[in-house]
Amino acid sequence: MAEPIFDRLALIGIGLIGSSVARIARAQGDIARFVVANARTEATLARVAELGIADLCEIDPARAVEGADCVMLCAPVGAYAALAAAIGPHLAPGAIVTDVGSTKQSVIRDVGPHLPEGVHFVPGHPMAGTEFSGPDAGFVELFQGRWCLLTPPPGTDTDAVARVQSLWERCGAMVGVMDPAHHDRVVAIVSHLPHLIAFTICGTADDLADETRQEVLQFAASGFRDFTRIAASDPVMWRDVFLNNREALLEMLARFTEDAQAMARAVRWGDAAYIEDKVLRGRKIRQALIDLHQA
């Protein structure tokens, strides 16, 4: 077995992503020798203790990071600024701080100023997940064959980036490095906009008259069921994602709205060729995902 990358890993937040990392660290032994779990409530930490996925449970984030050579922020991105302010004075010299948030410019904005000199900051985004949350939701295969994107600010220590990359590779992920602004535009279309649409469609269905609404639920076809799976995701996490990637998300929403209006015109005026072309392009996108083993 390979030597562990870190001596002490502190997971600040122990939901789907954090608990999956904890499980992998426990199962493989090559991520960290000692894992500390932090959560907002004693009830969550009690469940972590029952699951046996961490060596220590600590309710105070400042105490959780003491002596850690790697700190991973796994909370909703809206909580990052307060968490960074709380842990900053307690970080060990030379420690690496990373995260799993879905927005990267906001993370750099909210976390960076609170980190002391000599602490390395390597923002990350594992692009893997399910609609479930909490410490029971994690599993060791979550990152297998998925991408993790790192967005280190200019001048970040290269060894720190390499160690975070190794962590994710040992979790089974493929790792890419990307500019933070470019990352936020990419995920706005591949992740954030689809979630926004799913939440909106389910909200529209919920607002229908009672009789029609019952029929929607009773006879839901696979397309609507797929939207409900996405819409079951954690509301606090997605609220924070939408608000912290506002500009890129609104840009992609505007482009989508224009395309949706064009499709509506094609349906209204019977433009069969336009409709068929859109459907065929959708099929090509799906086949490309299958070919890349990302479906």
Distance CA 97, CA 152 (A): 11
3-class state of residue 135 by DSSP: helix
Domain count, the chain: 2
pLDDT of residue 207: 84
Do 165 and 207 lie in a common domain? no
Show the domain range for 240. Answer: 182-291
Do 160 and 248 lie in a common domain? no
Average pLDDT of 261-283? 95
Q: Give tens-digit pLDDT for 25-54.
A: 999 999 999 999 999 999 999 999 999 999
Asked if the structure places residue 1 within a domain, the reply is: no
Do 141 and 283 lie in a common domain? no
Look at residue 112 and tell me whether its pLDDT is greater than 80.
yes
Question: What angle (nearest 5°) sits at the alpha carbon of residue 255, between those of residues 104 and 235?
Answer: 50
Bridge partners (DSSP) listed for residue 26: none
Average pLDDT of 179-195? 95
Question: What angle (nearest 5°) sits at the alpha carbon of residue 281, between those of residues 280 and 283?
Answer: 65
> Which of 133, 149, 178 is where one domain is finished?
178
Least-confidence region, from 39-48, 91-100, 226-235, 256-265: 226-235
Do 73 and 192 lie in a common domain? no
Do 111 and 154 lie in a common domain? yes
According to DSSP, residue 146 is labeled -
Do 165 and 265 lie in a common domain? no
Residue with tokens 């060894």: 159
Do 76 and 212 lie in a common domain? no
Do 70 and 141 lie in a common domain? yes
Do 170 and 220 lie in a common domain? no
Identify the CA nearest to 71 among candidates 168, 151, 164.
164
Look at residue 175 and tell me whether its pLDDT is greater than 90.
yes
CB of 36 closer than 8 Å to CB of 56: yes
Q: What is the CATH number of the domain that holds 51?
A: 3.40.50.720
Q: What is the CATH number of the domain that holds 187?
A: 1.10.3660.10
Look at residue 205 and tell me whether its pLDDT is greater than 90.
no
Do 242 and 195 lie in a common domain? yes
What pTM did the predictor assign? 0.90
10 Å CB burial of residue 66 (0-12, 13-18, 19+) is middle
pLDDT of residue 264: 96
Question: What angle (nearest 5°) sits at the alpha carbon of residue 156, between those of residues 12 and 3?
Answer: 60
CB of 234 closer than 8 Å to CB of 102: no
- Could you please report the per-residue DSSP string of 250-287? HHHHHHHHHHHHHHHHHHHTT-HHHHHHHHHHHHHHHH
- Bigger pLDDT: 153 vs 228: 153
Look at residue 248 and tell me whether its pLDDT is greater than 80.
yes
